[in-house]
Amino acid sequence: MPILFVLNGPNLNLLGAREPAIYGRETLADIEARTAKACAALGFGLDFRQTNHEGVLVDWVQEAGRAAAALILNAGAYTHTSLAILDALRALTIPIVEVHLSLPAKRESFRHRSYVAMAAQGLIAGFGGAGYGLAVQAAADLIAAGKTG
């Protein structure tokens, strides 16, 4: 069974309590359960992880390149700052889908630039936890179409 890696960056472990007006009340565990259902419905396994550490996220992106059929990435604040994550993403030959709970374009101007988007095939943002299910479908479509990083 092909595996989708879903990697989550800093502060996403605080979902449900952190700025609920922006991020909602769903916890990361809720989103993982929702994502697992979406993966199962499409015949994918799921490797779902979260870290607050940039280097760990880089290591996991590299691992995804070896072990996953596609990568779904919510890099959190690293989206807007990390050249290291961009460089790791550019080394991948699998589809990459960027996902965000909020819509960065409607937030502070420093959130308008995404280094992840420079390597991703697409972006899903502003749909809360439902965006992860949309990202799973997008990843499945990219895999089926043979689109790669």
Catalytic hit among 78, 100, 115, 132? 100
- Give the span between the Cα atoms of 97 and 139, in whole angstroms: 7
Residue located via tokens 């959190």: 76
Is residue 35 within 8 Å of 137, Cβ to Cβ?
Answer: no
Q: Over the range 26-52, which residues count as b (16 or more CB within 10 Å of their CB) and which as e?
A: bbbeebbebbbebbeebebebbbebbe
- Give the span between the Cα atoms of 101 and 95, in whole angstroms: 20
Tell me if residue 100 is catalytic: yes
- Give the span between the Cα atoms of 87 and 116, in whole angstroms: 9
Catalytic hit among 23, 78, 115, 132? 23
Number of residues in the chain: 149
Is residue 97 within 8 Å of 122, Cβ to Cβ?
Answer: yes
Q: So which residues are the catalytic ones?
A: 23, 100
